[in-house]
Amino acid sequence: RPERTRLVSATEGIVSGRLIEATYLGETTELRVDAGPHGTVIVRRQNGGRTPTEDGPGSVVGEEVGVRWDDDAALALPETSA
């Protein structure tokens, strides 16, 4: 769930990658992170009066960022064979 994830510095993330897109959606901003072999990770951040490019991780497209989530927000899916 994108709303249960958050951007942190690249060294603090459970996964890390490059911010490839930031889309302002009114109350939220959707951020897409290219996490290499982990695919694209989506983060939704509440704006609450902030501008889409306010300081903090994920302020600039192209920036290296980390993505974290709480343990109870993680769901491990079984590997399937093709």
The structure's pTM equals 0.78
Q: For residue range 15-74, list pLDDT tens digits in order.
A: 999 999 999 888 888 999 999 998 999 999 888 765 545 546 666 899 999 999 888 877
Residue-averaged pLDDT of the chain: 83
Please identify which residue in the block is written with the tokens 């902030």. 50
Long-range pairs for 59-64 at CB < 8 Å and ≥24 separation?
Answer: 60/19, 61/19, 61/20, 61/21, 61/22, 62/18, 62/19, 62/20, 63/18, 63/19, 64/10, 64/16, 64/17, 64/18, 64/19
Q: What is the dihedral of CA 8, 24, 1, 36, to 10 degrees?
A: -60
